[in-house]
Amino acid sequence: MGYSELDKLLAAVGRGDVTHMKVVARVTPEPESPAEKILSKGKEIYETILRRSTSGVRVAGEDNLMVSFARCCQPIPGDGIVGIITRGRGVSVHRAGCSNLNDPNLGPERLIDVSWDSAPGQTFMVKLIILAQDRKNLLMDISNTISNTNTNIASGEFSAEDDLAKVTLVVEVRNLNNLEKLLKILGKIRGVQTIERFQLGRGPG
């Protein structure tokens, strides 16, 4: 009401500068009309849908926690997942079996139930490590194969030693089924020996 201290507001009421009815109205505002309630509920539903479509994960018992996907294991829908309450970063979602879940400093009070709640068309990043016999046009064949599946390549690295090539790619997939189909197609490329999902601390796997 424009007063920096409660005593100043009370003094203004005592002088008659502010009526007590105005103070009461601020403390106990009028209830929402039916139309306002509908608008408020609609806004709440919209914000809930927006949060779900952004994160793709539902956190048990909580609606407003920030969710991030662990870079060490990069979970995608279809993977078993575990939530870890982090300090200042909300909930970090890990693949079940991630080596970082074995941290002795990770107490059970920091674990929280999470489940997938991804929106149609939502994509998730996965890092793949492809080992293949080094040959001409290998990288082009891999890129074309991925492109033909309408899968986007976010980044990539290539290295070769002797006759062995290592191709590291970050691709965008919708879920585990989508990824498995992509891996099956990549495995048919001439010279490809192994394809693994990357996990920090364990190497490929």
pLDDT digits (tens, 9 = 90+) for 139-183: 999 999 999 999 999 999 999 998 999 999 999 999 999 999 999
**Letter string b/e over residues 25-47, b meaning 16 or more CB atoms within 10 A of that residue's CB:** eeeeeeeeeeeeeeeeeeeeeee
The CATH class for the domain spanning 124-204 reads alpha beta
pLDDT of residue 31: 67
pLDDT of residue 66: 84
Token readout for 88 is 């200042």
pLDDT of residue 57: 87
The structural domains of the chain, with segments of one domain joined by +, span 54-116, 124-204
pLDDT of residue 14: 74
Token readout for 97 is 């079996």
Alpha-carbon Rg for the chain in angstroms: 27
What value does the mean pLDDT of the chain take? 82
Whether the predicted pLDDT of 51 surpasses 50: no
* 180 membership: H or E segment, kind and range: helix 176-186
Whether the predicted pLDDT of 201 surpasses 50: yes
Give me the percent of the chain exceeding a pLDDT of 90. Answer: 47
CA dihedral 50, 56, 57, 62 (to 10 degrees): -10
Amino acid letter, residue 24 = V
Whether the predicted pLDDT of 38 surpasses 70: no
* 129 membership: H or E segment, kind and range: strand 124-133
pLDDT digits (tens, 9 = 90+) for 101-113: 888 888 888 898 9
pLDDT digits (tens, 9 = 90+) for 72-101: 999 999 999 999 988 776 899 999 989 888
Whether the predicted pLDDT of 67 surpasses 50: yes
- The more confidently predicted of residues 151 and 66 is 151
